[in-house]
Structure formats: C-alpha cells, structure tokens
Amino acid sequence: MELHTWLLFTGVALVAIVSPGPAVLLAINNALAHDLKTVALSSLGNVLGLFTLSSAAMLGLGVLLHTSVYLFLSFKIVGALYLIYLGIKQFRNLGNAFTALHVKEKKSKKELFGFFKNGYLICATNPKPILFFTALFPLFMEVNRPILPQFFILTLTFMTLSFMTLMLYAYFARS
C-alpha cells in the first residue's frame, strides 16, 4: 500500500470516527461516572468489535447485509435494543456524575470485564462500521497486491484512530 493511499484512508477514517456515536457516548459516560482506566477498557472492547466487524466485512457479511434488507433491519433492531437496554440501565444507576469524579473505587475483575464487554457489544451491534468497511475498504485496496496485509494496515489504522479518539473525548469530558 502506498503512503498517499494510506494517508487518504486515514483522513476519511478520521472524519467517520470523530463523528459522535454510541461509542463516544459510552466513553464520555464512563469518563464522568468512573475513570480513564474504565474508558480504556471499554475502548479496547470497542476496537476489538471493530476488528470483528472489519473481518466480517472482508468475509462477505457486508455484502450479505447490503443484499438482505431484512437481515440488515434485524441487525439494526438488535443494536437499537441493546442501546435502549444500556440507557435504561444508566437511568437506574443515575447519580451525580460530577461527584463520581472524586470518588476512587476499586472495581472487581467482573466489573472491569463488563466495561470491556459493553464497549465490544456497542460496536458489534452498530451497523455503521460494517457499512464503512464494506463501502470504503475496496476503494483503498490495491488488487495487484496481497489483500491480507492491506486489510491489517487499514483495520489497525482504523482501530488506533478510534481508540485515540475515544480516549480524547473521555479526557476532555473529564476535564
């Protein structure tokens, strides 16, 4: 992959990543209610979800979702239901988020895994990344070169930018 192609992909990916979505809201919520370690865990879950979705897109799930309106609709409904579930859970645990900034609490491994899992599920149930990967990956891949290295370069770039963006949103929210 040539440098100018990678830089162009990075710019396009950054525009898509910076636009707020469920992962950004989760990062801000975790920053206000917990700490940056929690945000890092949920963001790691998110980028693992991105890797899962980009792999699925490369294996043809994106084409299947494009051709099957019902499958795509069901995928969106599952994602929306999960976001509603998280919203209800958040309202039940509603407290003053700003007082939580000053409270240091030791979290169990189960709670820490829960933050990671939430980040993963929010990404995995969001159809936007699959559409991004299926629509844009082919535009930046060179057919005459091996596909797998290009896939990893594009995916790892997207994952890195996503993680950094989520951490920046969280840092500024916490500030």
Q: What pLDDT does residue 169 have?
A: 95
pLDDT digits (tens, 9 = 90+) for 55-97: 888 877 656 666 777 776 776 677 667 667 766 766 666 554 4
| DSSP, residue by residue, 8-55 | HHHHHHHHHHHS--HHHHHHHHHHHHS-HHHHHHHHHHHHHHHHHHHH
- Residues 6+ positions from 137 with CB-CB distance below 8 Å: 54, 57, 58, 151, 154
Instruction: Residue 49: name the closest of 113, 102, 126, 105 by CA.
Output: 126
Per residue in 118-175, pLDDT (tens digit) is: 999 999 888 788 778 877 777 888 878 888 888 899 999 999 999 999 999 999 998 8
Which of 92, 96, 158 shows the shortest CA–CA distance to 123?
158
Query: Using an 8 Å Cβ cutoff, are 20 and 128 in contact?
Result: no
The pTM of the full predicted model, rounded to 2 decimals, is: 0.77
